Amino acid sequence: MHSIITLKTKLLCVFVIGIIFTTYVFNRNTGASSQKDRGKIFQIGFDKCGTVTLAEFFRKNGIAAVHRDNGKLAESIYQNHLQNKPLLNQEYLKYILFTDMEKIDMQQPLNIGMMLFKELDQQYPGSKFILNTRDKTAWLKSRALSRSTANSTLLTRTAIRQNKTEQQVLLQWAEEWDKHHQAVLEYFKDRPNDLIVFNIEKDPPQKLVDFFKKSYKLNPKLYLHLNRTADKVQK
């Protein structure tokens, strides 16, 4: 009987300590002054590369994040760029992490990470950048299979819009992938503290924890793979 009570007491202590630690991490990361003074975090890799996973990981760690906002995030940034205004609207300044700054299912696709990462760096000094990546062939397959509507894939609709074959669209996407990765790596080649290349298929969350440890205390256990295209296709 005594051993059972002792075991229950130990389990309760572990549970309480876990809650206290999680609350401490959340409060440390959400402090108004702490987040305000640490710069922004921009995810500048492509869609279908763990953007939802990254957004939720940081959110669960208490970091204010905006993910896509139904395409309005990309649209507003692009319009501000055209008008020579600060890229981030006032409504978005409260956020630290910006993910999925894209609106690709349209006549003129927008990919802010690809188009304007240099301007984001120049306008928001002290910011950090995440080049989320994966195997290119796997990415092409995932993007091609992603649903644009209930009846068609993004690949099919893009081919129709651009009056190209699906193979031509895939070649175009592959070229954009290569050029963007090369451009980002070249731009940040002498700034290893400002860019993290994160392979969602190979890298552990500890890599993110270590990269951001000077600014945020992240709990790697809160990292979960979400929104996988393959899972959706199989359902």
Percent of the chain past pLDDT 70, that is, above it, reads: 80
Over the stretch 80-116, which tens digit does the pLDDT of each residue have?
999 999 999 999 999 999 999 999 888 789 999 999 9
* The CATH number of the domain covering residues in 31-234: 3.40.50.300
Report the phi/psi class of residue 201: left, alpha or beta, with left for phi > 0 and alpha for psi in -120 to 50: alpha
pTM of the shown model: 0.84
Q: How far apart are the first and last CA of the chain?
A: 49
Question: What is the pLDDT confidence band of residue 32, given thresholds at 50, 70 and 90?
Answer: very low
φ, ψ at 133 (rounded to 5°): -145, 180
Specify burial of residue 81 (Cβ count, 10 A radius: 0-12, 13-18, 19+). middle
Among residues 64, 67, 70, which one has the least CA distance to residue 53?
Answer: 67
* 117 φ, ψ (degrees, to nearest 5): -65, -30
d(CA 155, CA 29): 39
Which pLDDT score, from 0 to 100, does residue 38 have? Answer: 76
CA-CA-CA-CA torsion sign (96, 232, 229, 116): negative
- The residue extents of the domains of the chain are 31-234
pLDDT one-digit tens code per residue, 118-160:
999 999 999 999 999 999 999 999 999 998 777 899 999 999 9
